[in-house]
């Protein structure tokens, strides 16, 4: 009778041989698809300023639309002269100027009424 240790050793050797001899049919590994980006065709360049980088991300049409939107939202406060980006209905830059402007308009309206009466 063989010793159990020897039997296990033989079995291990047989398994190792069958594993090293194993060559499963594998498909060819995928090859990377690269295109030459050219000198200034890079989409991202860390040396660019924010707006310059943004221009590279947008098509010329998108860039024009974005500027038109920015221009339409840009307003100047009639009270303090500060330029600001506004929601469509906004006239003043903030609450303080809005109250100041409304008070001024109210005073003007009441003076007119006083002169008429």
90 binds Zn ion (CB under 5 A): no
* Residue whose token pair is 């209905």: 89
Q: How many residues bind Zn ion (CB under 5 A)?
A: 6
98 binds Zn ion (CB under 5 A): no
Taking the CB of residue 56, how many other CB atoms lie within 10 A of it? 14
* Residue whose token pair is 């339409």: 72
* Residue whose token pair is 């924010």: 50
80 binds Zn ion (CB under 5 A): yes
86 binds Zn ion (CB under 5 A): no
Binding site for Zn ion (CB under 5 A): 77, 79-80, 82, 93, 97
């Amino acid at each position: 009778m063989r010793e159990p240790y020897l039997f296990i050793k033989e079995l291990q050797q047989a398994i190792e041989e069958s594993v090293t001899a194993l060559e499963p049919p594998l498909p060819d590994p995928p090859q990377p698809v690269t295109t030459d980006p050219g000198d200034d065709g890079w989409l991202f360049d860390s040396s660019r300023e924010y707006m310059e980088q943004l221009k590279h991300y947008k098509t010329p049409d998108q860039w024009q639309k974005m500027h038109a939107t920015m221009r339409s939202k840009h307003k100047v406060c009639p009270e303090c002269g500060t330029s600001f980006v506004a929601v469509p209905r906004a006239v003043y830059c903030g609450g303080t100027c809005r109250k100041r402007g409304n008070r001024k308009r109210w005073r003007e309206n009441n003076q007119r009424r006083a002169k008429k009466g």
